[in-house]
Amino acid sequence: MRRRLTRAFAFAILSTAAAAPPAHSQRVLGVGDDALVLPRGVLRVRVLGQFTEFNERYGLDTPGRPDGALEPLGVDLTLDTLGVLQFPNLASLQAGLRSLSGIPNFGLTLGNTVVGISNRVTAIPIVIEAGLTSKLSVGVTIPYVRTRSNVTFLANTGGFQGNVGFNPALGNPTAIAQNMAFAAQFSSAAAQLNASLTACLGSTAPQCAALNAQRGNAQALIASASQFAAGVGQIYSTSPFVPIAGTDAQLAIDARVAAFKALYASFGVTSITTTGPFASQTRLTARDAQQILTQPAFGVLSDPLQTVDRGHIGDIDIGGEFALFDTFGGSTEARMSPKGLNYRAAVGAVVRLPTGQGDSPNNFTDLGTGQGQTDLEGRFFGDVLIGSRFWQSFVVRYINQLADNEFIRITDLPGRTLAPQYRRQKVERDLGNVFEFETTPRVVINQFFAVSGMYFFRRKSEDSYKGMYTIPAGETGFTDITLNAATLNLETEAREHRIGGGISFSNLYAFEQGKAKIPFEVTYLHWQTTGGSGGNQPKFFTDQIQLRLYSRLFGGK
């Protein structure tokens, strides 16, 4: 796909460079931003293709990993055990199985999960800029963004991790019949022994002597066996999950059935012939786990963990740039062949509109095409040139992300990704402001080519989420709980360092000399993240191709 898109951009570069009127510019601008403000009347159209991939992040507080270590994006969804911690409403089932099995530390688990995530973002911004005066230019950036989150999802990878599975009695006639027989036999045994106790009460008949001597034990047997049978009936007839055949809990329950059978037989009651309730026969597969995530009965009610493709307009930028000073001078020769030490500076401002699509609160792995809130961005650009071949740009950006309201699933900790539906609430959100610094050294090889390096630093401050919500037991399935949206603030601060480089081709100098008919520039830039922190900072790998076309709207050459 990337190669096809690269070829498409190469074709666009060749086909769109058709008939542009004269324009003023520097000889070879190179990759990255700079302090050049378009001259009065000049129109510049930029078309970019930016291809970013990432499958790791710089982690924080991940068990078993040092802070700042690279870890897979799917680490929060890769779990050794899927149990009460992820699904608190299973706590009552775990307690019931502890009582039935006699195993006080029994830990319910649906098994393990392994999730792999590899993301790709393709952005195609179209940037239209125009010089209004000799010092002021304005522009708009309209990006089309396509995201793809490649997801692989496996469950019970070893085939032995889970100890509970789907309850077959919720649809299997054989299981239903066995559980009904179990309940009937225990009820019949209790009735028979009760009848014998009643018949022998106060009797001196020889056949009653042994029973009367054990009357207390017989009554205790009826009480404990009936309580056990009631617990079995409640779980094995109604619970979505029951122990798997051959696991410790099921073997312990079967052993208790055998023990009750033997105790009843010691009192002459032989109506119990069952070996126990019908157990789950298989461990959960990935397909089964997807049902738990998506079906309303289990409370998560999310999208399945699978590959997601999205394409939409991204967040649109509208802004301008104002030149503070420029020592190049106004002549074409001064701009195209500067000598000695020159410098220039400009400031800019941008309003970023929330025209993109944000992440879905019902999908744990998707990527949005925008952040969904308005941003205000201030920029400073500075260029320093030494002679006619070396120059370096310095860019500072500060992004104020404005507050908004958004539906988000409130988690207690950043790693608790599998949040149930009742945690989806509309919260007050104020994403952390961003500081960026970028510097780009460039060497002009000749009138057509330049090579460039790039260093980029980004610091994002902590997000702020507000909202308190009380969720009743009827919704949680176990007890009343209070959610505090402030827990979403955790691991939202981030730092990133990038290093990259590229090459540029420009025919602007040749155009000014009358040796080219169409003024345009083509740049290629590769960069990647070399360091990061915060817990959710991805390691990016990005390739970018850019075409700049120049034209004149008004004014003289």
Mean pLDDT of all residues in 341-364 = 94
d(CA 265, CA 221): 11
Query: Residues 300, 240: one domain?
Result: no
Distance CA 84, CA 107 (A): 8
Kindly tell me if the per-residue pLDDT of 374 is higher than 50.
Answer: yes
Number of domains in the chain: 2
The pair of structure tokens assigned to 267 is 């009192």
At 516 the pLDDT is 63
- Residues 295 and 427 occupy one common structural domain: yes
CA–CA gap between residue 13 and residue 522 (Å, rounded): 8
What pLDDT, on the 0 to 100 scale, is given for residue 12?
Answer: 34
Last residue of a domain, one of 282, 310, 345: 282
β-bridge partners, 396: 380, 437
pLDDT at 370 over 80: yes
Boundary of a domain, candidates 218, 248, 282: 282
- Domain assignment present for residue 97? The answer is yes
CA dist., res. 161 & res. 252, Å (int): 18
Sorting pLDDT into bands at 50, 70 and 90, what band is 302? very high
If asked whether residues 149 and 50 sit together in one domain, one would say: yes
For residue 195, being part of any structural domain is answered with yes
Q: Is 83 exposed, middle or buried (0-12, 13-18, 19+ CB in 10 A)?
A: buried
Determine which helix (DSSP H) or strand (DSSP E) holds 16, and give its type and residue range. Answer: helix 2-16
Please check whether residue 110 lies inside any domain of the structure. Answer: yes
Q: Is 551 exposed, middle or buried (0-12, 13-18, 19+ CB in 10 A)?
A: middle
Round to whole Å and give the CA distance between 10 and 19. Answer: 18
**Inside any domain, residue 384:** yes
Residues 435-467 pLDDT 10s: 999 999 999 888 889 899 999 999 999 999 999
Of 263, 320, 261, the C-alpha closest to 140 is 320
Considering the domain architecture, whether residues 29 and 103 belong to the same structural domain is answered as: yes
If asked whether residues 42 and 134 sit together in one domain, one would say yes
**Whether residue 233 sits in one domain with residue 301:** no
Q: How far apart are CA 294 and CA 182, in angstroms?
A: 33
Residues 528 and 471 reside in one and the same domain: yes
Phi, psi of 70 (to 5 degrees): -70, 135
Helix (H) or strand (E) holding 426: strand 424-430
pLDDT at 24 over 70: no
In terms of domains, do 151 and 175 share one? Answer: no
The sign of the torsion formed by the CA atoms of 241, 242, 245, 246 equals positive
Query: 89-106: string of b/e by CB count within 10 Å (b at 16+)?
Result: bbbbbbebbbebbeeeeb
Q: Are residues 192 and 44 in the same domain?
A: no
Identify whether 557 is part of a domain: no
Residue 92 has pLDDT above 50, yes or no: yes
pLDDT score at 515: 66
The residues near 511 (Cβ < 8 Å, ≥ 6 apart) are: 22, 23, 517, 518, 519
Do 303 and 407 fall within a single domain?
A: yes
Residues facing residue 133 across a β-bridge: none
The CATH number that applies at residue 95 is: 2.40.160.40
- Give residue 531's domain range: 2-160+290-550
152 and 33 belong to one structural domain: yes
End position of a domain, from candidates 231, 251, 282: 282
Is residue 181, in this structure, part of any structural domain at all?
yes
Indicate if the alpha-carbon torsion angle 197, 201, 207, 211 is positive or negative: positive
- The gap between the terminal CA atoms of the chain, to the nearest Å, is 42
Average pLDDT over residues 182-211: 93
Token readout for 307 is 């590959």
The pair phi, psi for residue 433, each rounded to 5°, is -70, 160
pTM assigned to the model: 0.87
Tokens of 67: 């802070």
Q: Of 181, 165, 188, 189, which is closest to residue 275 (Cα–Cα)?
A: 181
The neighbour count for residue 490, using CB atoms within 10 Å, is 19
Residues 6+ positions from 466 with CB-CB distance below 8 Å: 427, 428, 485, 486
Check residue 384 and give its pLDDT: 92
Residue 518 shares a structural domain with residue 538: yes
